[in-house]
Amino acid sequence: MNPLPNLGLVCVTHGPEVRYKVLTRSRFLAMNRPERLDKLRALYQNNLAVLYGALAFCRSRRIQLYRATSDLFPHGEDEEGRQVLKELADQMAPFGELAQRLGIRVVLHPDQFVVLNSVRPEVVNSAIGELRWQAEIATTVGADVLCLHGGSTAGGWDAAVDRLIAGVERLSPTVRSLLALENDDRCFPLVELLPVSLATSVPLVLDAHHHRVIDGGLTLAEATDWALATWDDREPYFHISSPKAGWSGGDPRPHADFIAPADVPRYWLELGARLTVDVEAKAKERAVLQLIEAFPG
């Protein structure tokens, strides 16, 4: 049996080592322009230092994937935010090269409100704008994936898939080159994302936990093979987690603090394929390290 895939830390640590500052929209709008600039300068410099610290943290613990928070630079798409980001460009520029040199892959996962196939045009337009902004951040920090859920299933599968394909086709080449679609645990099993991937060449992120909740008629091995086949010039990227209440303890959707070793797909270990996997567990780095210890290799 082959060793574990490369495992990843999601955004922050359980301890205080990797923690970002935020700024609510209401507080931001209540400030005048000079106050906004001063606040964003301090906040962005702090978050940039934390971001660099995340690389050091991951490197020291053999964590080879880092999912940066999508709220790294709050209000960065606003005029004041863009001005401050321009001022800090020289400090941000080395990050992607450093991550690559340390062997740490960087990805982003925009929030759930980004729905490319909504039946409401204003929601789709907002999603396209948000993905454009997230692609700018991805380019800045050297991330090679923007991971997005399938979205709405209003009107049935055929209509939902058609809308999703249309939404992807409206994206810029830069955004499309970064985009990947993930199966979820409520609406879109991986099998329903396959037509979108085939039509748009957008690769698929297999979330093993989500697949066990909604498998769409595919075994996990079949879903794995299909998802792997959609990746071309980037290393495949998957997710793993365990249900908080176990598989027979009620709602299987909420994530547990740690990953049960039995929930690591044996098929992934047998494949020997190059693969990076987000560990989506509440205990964050503690869960990653426990998993590494459970599968020495």
- Strand-pairing partners, residue 66, are 9, 106
Residue with tokens 């906040």: 43
Per residue in 25-35, pLDDT tens? 999 999 999 99
User: Do residues 190 and 216 touch, judged by C-beta distance below 8 A?
Assistant: yes
Q: Is 149 helix (H, G, I), strand (E, B) or coil?
A: strand
Q: What residue type is 60 in one-letter code? A: S
- Strand-pairing partners, residue 255, are 243
Per residue in 95-126, pLDDT tens? 999 999 999 999 999 988 999 999 999 999 99
The stretches of 61-108 forming alpha helices (DSSP H) are 79-87, 89-92, 94-102
Distances (CA, A) of 13 to 61, 288, 290: 12, 11, 14
Task: Give the chain's residues under pLDDT 70.
Answer: 1-2, 297
The DSSP 8-state label assigned to residue 273 in this structure reads -
Question: What pLDDT sits at residue 297?
Answer: 61
Question: What pLDDT sits at residue 294?
Answer: 87
- 42: Cα separation from own chain's centroid: 26
Burial of 230 (0-12, 13-18, 19+ CB in 10 A): buried
Question: What pLDDT sits at residue 69?
Answer: 93
pTM of the complete model beyond 0.85 = yes
Question: What pLDDT sits at residue 1?
Answer: 55
- 197: Cα separation from own chain's centroid: 17
Q: What residue type is 79 in one-letter code? A: E
Report the topology of domain 6-17+105-294.
Answer: TIM Barrel (3.20.20)
Q: Is 190 helix (H, G, I), strand (E, B) or coil?
A: helix
